[in-house]
Amino acid sequence: MKHKIPAIGLLFLLFVLGLSACASETSDTESPVPTQAEPPIPAPAEAPAFHPLAPSDAQEMMASDTAFVLLDVREPSEFAEGHIPGATLMPLGTLHERAPLEILDKDMQIIIYCRSGRRSVDAAEILLALGFQNVFDLGGILNWPYEIQLPE
């Protein structure tokens, strides 16, 4: 037995094929409608990043004539137990308020350390958010193999 396609189904199929063919055809004589060029989307600016700093590189930087600030972001009781000579105590909780008042040069090289390295990362991110540009993360004093100033 042969199947017959109903006439209405055949007409519908031809209609759909005709529409799709017309939609994709363009004439050579047609000129495209000019569109206003979209301005290019600027590439996102790279966020400033802090630089990890090995103890040997920090020691070298501190021994050179380069101007820098060495920040200990631990608590006062930890600082009193021993710190890297020349360090300034600026606990993490006070950094947001104190750094802009005490470190006036936003391009100054800032070396940060804490006990183990976790707070120094937080401190580096705070300083970058405040607009400081040359932030170096030394990590923790536990990894510092050089001189430590102990309480007298």
Quote the percentage of the chain above a pLDDT of 90: 65
Q: Could you say which of 92, 114, 124, 135 is catalytic?
A: 114
Check: CB of residue 112 under 8 Å from CB of residue 52: no
Q: What's the whole-model pTM score? A: 0.69
Domain ranges of the chain: 56-142
Structure tokens at 48: 């400033």
Active site (annotated) includes residue 114: yes
The burial class, CB within 10 Å (0-12 / 13-18 / 19+), for 128 is middle
Residues in the chain, how many?
152
> Where does 25-145 have alpha helices with state H?
55-63, 76-81, 92-102, 118-129
pLDDT at 22 over 80: no
Report CA Rg, the chain: 33
Assigned architecture for domain 56-142:
3-Layer(aba) Sandwich (3.40)
What pLDDT is stored for residue 152 in this prediction? Answer: 80
Query: Nearest 5°: CA angle at 111, between 108 and 117?
Result: 150
| Terminal CA-CA length for the chain | 109
pLDDT in tens, 93-139: 999 999 999 999 999 999 999 999 999 999 999 999 999 999 999 99
